[in-house]
């Protein structure tokens, strides 16, 4: 069985143009050729991040870029506000703890989004908070946070807004400059359709002032070193050369489609998936007010073993979806549709989902999921 459809929230599938670039002979990084790649990559990233801010490439996974933000912006004993509504919000809390930052945590019920008013209230009670950490798409719950509304609150204060867009960027609109988002963190292996190993962080001038005054010890992730190196179109250490070269190609694909069309396509895939799931009589885990284009979380129906469902789909049919994490283990499964997933991938995924659900004894209207997805995709075409 050669089928290998990844409907997973990272790593995601890699388009052929990008695979070709990843397979090119390696070049040395301190060369004009590689400098051209850095230039093109940063330019393309600025288009997707919708910013003129500086963007640094870091050789690490998404968590490394999260850690870089915490250890560069804050100093031990500083106070920060953290929104926790899932596993990745928890990661911000853990990172703050690791660096001796006092985290004032807003615990949001999993499956729902934080209300901007909650951030506003906590900020006005903690005027000395230096940063607000949020998650754009909380991958563990498929919740999309209203980043713009929170930015409206934070930009009136001295605090900086730091957004984890590891899974959400290039799937959902994020207007860094227009909305006033200070730090945006993302990574290669999700919406950017690349292997893991490269992360990105954009830094506003307001945030960079904190980088300069932080008394935290840092070395590999010292953004002052990144700033110096990137000013010379260079990197402080050996970069993930191959992935940077692949990034240039994946950014070209997004640019060619146009950001608006790209988002419309991601939104269509998400809509088709949600409607197909509902047509099977399954329910969505995420509150309807905060669906993300990046992935869909589905409640495992009563009497069905969610882990078994995911395992059979992957091992017998070559379709990889993911189960729930932490407290959601066995209770939900997640269908991701970010990156280069296409309509046919979703239809194939739903078709095998139906097959396995039937095998596990779940009663539903046969073919209802596939037909519904087809209907959604036939009505709306995005041209991507």
Q: Which part of the chain contacts ligand PMP (CB under 6 A), choosing from 160-168, 232-240, 250-258, 283-291?
A: 160-168
Burial of 115 (0-12, 13-18, 19+ CB in 10 A): middle
Among 35, 63, 75, 367, binds ligand PMP (CB under 6 A): 63
Among 84, 164, 182, 354, binds ligand PMP (CB under 6 A): 164
Cβ closest to ligand PMP, residue 168 vs residue 306: 168
Cβ closest to ligand PMP, residue 61 vs residue 118: 61
Q: Which part of the chain contacts ligand PMP (CB under 6 A), choosing from 123-131, 132-140, 344-352, 371-379?
A: 132-140
Rounded alpha-carbon distances, angstroms, from residue 138 to 9, 142, 221: 11, 6, 24
Q: Which part of the chain contacts ligand PMP (CB under 6 A), choosing from 152-160, 163-171, 274-282, 340-348?
A: 163-171
- For ligand PMP (CB under 6 A), the number of binding residues is 14
Rounded alpha-carbon distances, angstroms, from residue 57 to 60, 163, 302, 350: 9, 16, 45, 36
The residue among 154, 155, 135 whose CA lies nearest residue 143 is: 135
Among 7, 8, 10, 350, binds ligand PMP (CB under 6 A): 10
Cβ closest to ligand PMP, residue 10 vs residue 272: 10
Strand partners, 183: 162, 203
The DSSP annotation for 147-177 comes to: HHHHHHHHTTSS-EEEEE-TTTBTTB---HH
Given the structure tokens 């970069």, which residue do they identify?
239
* C-alpha–C-alpha distance, residues 373 and 270, integer Å: 10
Among 8, 53, 167, 273, binds ligand PMP (CB under 6 A): 167
Rounded alpha-carbon distances, angstroms, from residue 136 to 83, 185, 277: 11, 10, 23
Question: Is there a contact between 220 and 237 (Cβ–Cβ < 8 Å)?
Answer: yes
CB of 53 to ligand PMP, least distance (A): 20
Q: Which part of the chain contacts ligand PMP (CB under 6 A), choosing from 56-64, 101-109, 201-209, 352-360?
A: 56-64
Map the footprint of ligand PMP across residues 173-192, applying CB under 6 A. 187
CB of 60 to ligand PMP, least distance (A): 8
Cβ closest to ligand PMP, residue 10 vs residue 239: 10
Cβ closest to ligand PMP, residue 34 vs residue 192: 192
Among 61, 126, 367, 382, binds ligand PMP (CB under 6 A): 61
Cβ closest to ligand PMP, residue 61 vs residue 367: 61
* Residue nearest ligand PMP by beta-carbon distance: 62
Cβ closest to ligand PMP, residue 67 vs residue 354: 67
Given the structure tokens 């830094």, which residue do they identify?
203
Among 139, 145, 186, 214, binds ligand PMP (CB under 6 A): 139
What's the number of CA atoms in the CB half-sphere (13 Å) around residue 18? 23
Q: Which part of the chain contacts ligand PMP (CB under 6 A), choosing from 44-52, 61-69, 304-312, 353-361?
A: 61-69
3-state DSSP of 202-267: EECHHHHHHHHHCCCCCCCCCHHHHHHHHHCCCCCCCCCHHHHHHHHHHHHHHHHHCHHHHHHHHH
CB of 168 to ligand PMP, least distance (A): 7
The residue among 153, 164, 171, 368 whose CA lies nearest residue 270 is: 171
Letters for 188-217 (x = contact with ligand PMP by CB under 6 A, - = none) are: --------x---------------------
Cβ closest to ligand PMP, residue 216 vs residue 322: 322
Q: Which part of the chain contacts ligand PMP (CB under 6 A), choosing from 60-68, 113-121, 249-257, 273-281?
A: 60-68
The residue among 295, 276, 37 whose CA lies nearest residue 166 is: 295
Residues contacting residue 26 through CB under 8 Å, at least 6 positions apart: 241, 242
* C-alpha–C-alpha distance, residues 147 and 134, integer Å: 8
Do strands 102-107 and 79-84 pair parallel, antiparallel, or not at all (unpaired)? parallel
Rounded alpha-carbon distances, angstroms, from residue 139 to 9, 111, 172, 289: 7, 10, 13, 16
Q: Does 166 bind ligand PMP (CB under 6 A)?
A: yes
Cβ closest to ligand PMP, residue 68 vs residue 166: 166
* C-alpha–C-alpha distance, residues 22 and 128, integer Å: 46
Contact footprint for ligand PMP (CB under 6 A): 9-10, 61-63, 88, 135, 137, 139, 164, 166-167, 187, 196
């Amino acid at each position: 069985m050669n089928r290998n459809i990844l409907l997973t929230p990272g790593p995601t599938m890699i388009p052929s143009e990008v695979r070709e670039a990843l397979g090119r002979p390696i070049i040395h990084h301190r060369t004009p050729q590689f400098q051209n790649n850095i230039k093109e990559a940063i330019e393309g990233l600025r288009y997707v991040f919708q910013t003129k801010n500086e963007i640094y490439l870091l050789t690490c996974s998404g968590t490394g870029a999260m850690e870089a933000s915490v250890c560069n912006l804050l100093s031990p004993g500083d106070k920060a506000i953290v929104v926790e509504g899932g596993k990745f919000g928890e990661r911000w809390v853990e990172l703050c703890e690791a660096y001796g930052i006092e985290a004032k945590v807003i615990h949001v019920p999993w499956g729902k989004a934080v209300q901007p008013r909650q951030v506003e209230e906590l900020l006005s009670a903690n005027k000395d908070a230096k940063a607000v950490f949020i998650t754009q798409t909380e991958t563990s719950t498929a919740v999309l946070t209203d980043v713009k509304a929170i930015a409206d609150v934070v930009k009136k204060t001295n605090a900086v807004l730091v957004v984890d867009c590891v899974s959400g960027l290039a799937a959902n609109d994020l207007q860094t400059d227009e909305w006033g988002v200070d730090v945006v963190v993302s990574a290669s292996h999700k919406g950017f359709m690349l292997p893991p190993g490269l992360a990105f962080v954009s830094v506003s001038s307001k945030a960079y002032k904190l980088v300069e005054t932080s008394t935290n010890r840092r070395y590999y992730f010292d953004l002052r070193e990144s700033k110096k190196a990137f000013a010379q179109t260079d990197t402080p250490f050996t970069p993930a050369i191959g992935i940077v070269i692949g990034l240039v190609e994946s950014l070209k694909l997004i640019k060619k489609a146009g950001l608006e069309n790209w988002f419309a396509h991601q939104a269509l895939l998400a809509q088709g998936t949600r409607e197909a799931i509902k047509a099977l009589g399954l329910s969505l885990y995420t509150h309807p007010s905060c669906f993300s284009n990046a992935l869909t979380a589905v409640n495992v129906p009563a009497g069905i073993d969610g882990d078994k469902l995911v395992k059979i789909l992957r091992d017998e049919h070559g379709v990889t979806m993911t189960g729930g994490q932490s407290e959601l283990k066995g209770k939900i499964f997640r269908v991701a549709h970010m990156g280069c997933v296409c309509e046919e991938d979703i239809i194939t995924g739903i078709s095998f989902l139906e097959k396995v659900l039937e095998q596990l004894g779940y009663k539903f209207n046969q073919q209802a999921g596939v037909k519904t997805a087809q209907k959604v995709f036939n009505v709306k075409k995005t041209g991507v």
